[in-house]
Structure 1
Amino acid sequence: MDPVTTLETPPETDLPPDRRRRRIIGMTVWAVAFVLFVAFVGVPTSDPLTAFGWLWLATIAWRNYQPWREHLLFLRDWLPVVLLLVFYNVSRGSADKLFAPHVQFMIDADEHMFGWLTGGRIPTIWLQQHLYDPSHVPWWEVVTTMVYISHFLTVPTVAVVLWVRSRGLSYRFMRRWIALSMAGLVTYFLYPAAPPWWAAENGYLAEPVARFSSRGFDVLGLHSAGNTLNALQVEQSNPVAAMPSLHTAYAMMAVAFFLPMVRKRWWPLLLAYPLAMTFTLVYTGEHYVVDVLLGWFYVGAIFLTVGWAERRWAARKR
């Protein structure tokens, strides 16, 4: 029997009216509290404990009719993952201490790939020269900000939804997520790579590059959320962790995991998300295209490696 099937949570399509009412009330309270938190504090992006605290509360609100021992299973399954992600966040900020950052390779790679189309410029500079206006925030920068911030929420949310619906699928997803994160972290230690905005600030690019991934929050009036993201980028992130781009790798992983489970006619819609993340990262000066391509390569390599290990483990258990 398929181990994933045996671990699936039975569908709750016929909830009694009282449970359905409790679910609606619980999720409404959670949603209002989360919106207020984002408005006054910011999107929980910097601390995995905070992010998963909100996600745990969401699972409680969704199944608030369950006994507490069911809700505590979340802590049992997720605390090791969260602690590992805390370690990842803390150590990532020290990943630029061993070696000097690499800069020129990414510039040369993007110019060689796209210079024929951009007049010899890297795509980031070409896009900003055609679309960026420092005195005005256009509507598409609201979209790019939302896409950028989704990096911090999409993968944890998918993992938690899978945990509620199918424990087997959630464990498979988490194995790929953790492996991808650790592979990226090791690369950041061994090959620190500077993004376009850093290269421009330090004189490696002749033309300026703006960094403005949070500007869309100003249009929405979520100034605290924008300030939180800006502080995260300045104080807690590794400024030379551009290669591979885990932003786009996470987006591709979240989509690629589900591609075998959906009809191919839905693939373009799903793949629009990592493509939107790619545009966002390149346009806002956060990454080169070569960073994105390497991130996608890491996803493929991790899926192949973890899938092979899972099959080997399943064969040994037979």
Structure 2
Amino acid sequence: MSNMRYYNPLYTRKWTKIFVPMSTFFTQLGTQLGFQTNTTKDDSTASLPNEYSTKSSYVNGSSSSSSSLSTLFSTLTSPFRPRYKTFISYKKHPNGIIKQDNNHLIYHQLDIHRINDENNNEKNNNTNQNSITINIPTNYSNDLLINTDNKYSNFLSLKENILWIILASFLYFLWFIFIAGISIVHILIYLILLVSFIISEPTRRLALAVLIYLTYLLLYDALHLIPNYTVSSIHIEDIYLIEKKLFGIVKNGHMMTLNEYFQENHIPFLDVFTGICYLNWIPIPIAYSLYLYRYKSKRDYMDFAFTFLLTNIVGFVIYYIVPAAPPWYVELYGFEFNIKVPGNPAGFIHFDQITGLKVFSSMYSKNANVFAAIPSLHAAYPLITVLYGSLSKKLWLHITFVLFTLSIWFSAVYSRHHYVIDVLAGGMCAITAYILYRLLSRIPTINRLIVAYSKLI
């Protein structure tokens, strides 16, 4: 930015307060009415290069009022524009408004400020005078051209990435059709991502950002390709006995697990409350990560999303190391291994009965592998929001995440989908992934990849 100072003896303090706002008003009024801006050829209004600034001072009586007035009213000294409409694009600028018409002529409304120059005048042994500072912005032409060609940017970006789009689409449908199995959900996800990539630059960046969660979906759907019970032996009775020993309670002289206690003593209010909490085990963490993406920084979002992905990877590995049956399996089938057991809503059946909605009945009927109780990823996801809750800088939100996590943990045990052991294992899974990601992100190569990815989103 360069500054040009014009000292004018006619601008005393009293009259400056009147004429400067009036000049600005008439300048804007002339622009709105259609007067075209032409710079006068007077030396006082000659354009200067942006690389340096020129200070011109005039003492009393050495210049006429037309020199300064021509500067203030230069936008009005032009013929009237024709009546036909022209396309004008506007771009906000810190020092005024930049306009561009079809002929690519640039008009810039100068931001004029009046300052009191008494101190400077005293140093120069001059009388009290007022001066006007005209701020001239630099290097706005490139931004203006980018703004003008913005309507072509989406088309150009689509044209440049069309091969990548075709390749990604081919691999996506190849995976789900011939390997993992495709459903209407997968088709809807693909269409949403494709439209988001095409529609605009912000949605394109968002589509690239959510690819982290798409990777999680690909891994989750791939679990049924190699069932975990074909890799390791199923743990049913031993997990039940350990749970009863560590967290069992005594009722009427009989030792039972908390799951068995809640089976006999369920409350309608808790049936509805725990059902609502359980339905938000994924939506709230993902919504919070999108909040970080929108209102904080892309790096905060990536830290959260990659920790989420790494939590799932750690959890999936444990699924294959320790395949375990949930509490409701023991209630229905005892300790015998039955490979054909379908999913079951367990305690959430009361939620469906009270609300009249078959949410959990429909959800768990599609669960292909019931021997994945350890660790409880239902308990892991909300804990990630607690680990990254401080990024919001809002204490109330951080406290809410803590309460939400405890509610999910209680719901998992109350609904008889997980033992307390499963919940604690899920919490440790999230903490392990959090620490592991912190260590990995410090590796220079991985950190450079994260930084490069953050620039894309």
**1:311 Cα deviation after fit:** 2.7
DSSP 3-state at the match of 1:120: strand
Q: Is the 8 A contact 2:249 2:257 kept in 1?
A: no
Structure with larger Rg: 2
* Distance in 2 (alpha carbons) for counterparts of 1:89 and 1:233: 15
Aligned to 2:439: 308
- Output aligned runs, 1:44-193, within 5 Å: 49=186, 68-79=200-211, 81-91=213-223, 94-116=227-249, 119-131=254-266, 138-165=268-295, 166-193=297-324
Q: Which 10-residue stretch deviates more, 308-317 or 158-167?
A: 308-317
* Distance in 2 (alpha carbons) for counterparts of 1:304 and 1:68: 36
**1:247 Cα deviation after fit:** 0.2
Q: Determine which of 252, 275, 298 is the counterpart of 2:429.
A: 298
* TM-score (norm. length: structure 1): 0.68
* Distance in 1 (alpha carbons) for counterparts of 2:327 and 2:397: 33
**1:237 Cα deviation after fit:** 4.1
Q: Determine which of 372, 376, 389 is the counterpart of 1:258.
A: 389
Letter of the 1:98 counterpart: V
Aligned to 2:365: 234
Letter of the 1:150 counterpart: N
Q: Which 10-residue stretch deviates more, 236-245 or 84-93?
A: 84-93
Higher helix share: 1
Letter of the 1:179 counterpart: L
Aligned to 2:332: 201
RMSD of Structure 2 on Structure 1 (CA): 3.5
Aligned to 2:56: none
Deviation string 1:84-103 (CA, Å, 9 cap, x unpaired) is 42232331573333233211
**1:241 Cα deviation after fit:** 0.4
Letter of the 1:161 counterpart: Y
Q: Is the 8 A contact 1:114 1:120 kept in 2?
A: no
Letter of the 1:121 counterpart: M
Aligned to 1:6: none
Q: Is the 8 A contact 2:288 2:385 kept in 1?
A: yes
**1:80 Cα deviation after fit:** 5.2
* Distance in 1 (alpha carbons) for counterparts of 2:368 and 2:282: 13
* Distance in 2 (alpha carbons) for counterparts of 1:101 and 1:47: 32
Give unmatched runs, 5+ long, in structure 2: 1-182, 337-343, 449-457
Deviation string 1:209-242 (CA, Å, 9 cap, x unpaired) is 980325324434444xx1xx32331223420100
* TM-score (norm. length: structure 2): 0.49
**1:280 Cα deviation after fit:** 0.8
Aligned to 2:150: none
Aligned to 1:279: 410
**1:108 Cα deviation after fit:** 1.9
Q: Is the 8 A contact 1:245 1:291 kept in 2?
A: yes
* Distance in 2 (alpha carbons) for counterparts of 1:163 and 1:196: 38
Deviation string 1:142-194 (CA, Å, 9 cap, x unpaired) is 11111111123222222223222321111000110010001111111221110
Q: Is the 8 A contact 1:95 1:188 kept in 2?
A: yes
Higher relative contact order (CA 8 A, sep 6+): 1
Higher strand share: 2
> What's the % identity of the aligned pairs?
20
Aligned to 1:244: 375
Give unmatched runs, 5+ long, in structure 1: 1-45, 61-66, 133-137
* Distance in 2 (alpha carbons) for counterparts of 1:68 and 1:219: 44
Deviation string 1:98-151 (CA, Å, 9 cap, x unpaired) is 23321123212221222355552111111222225xxxxx12211111111112
Q: Work out the number of aligned pairs and report it.
A: 255
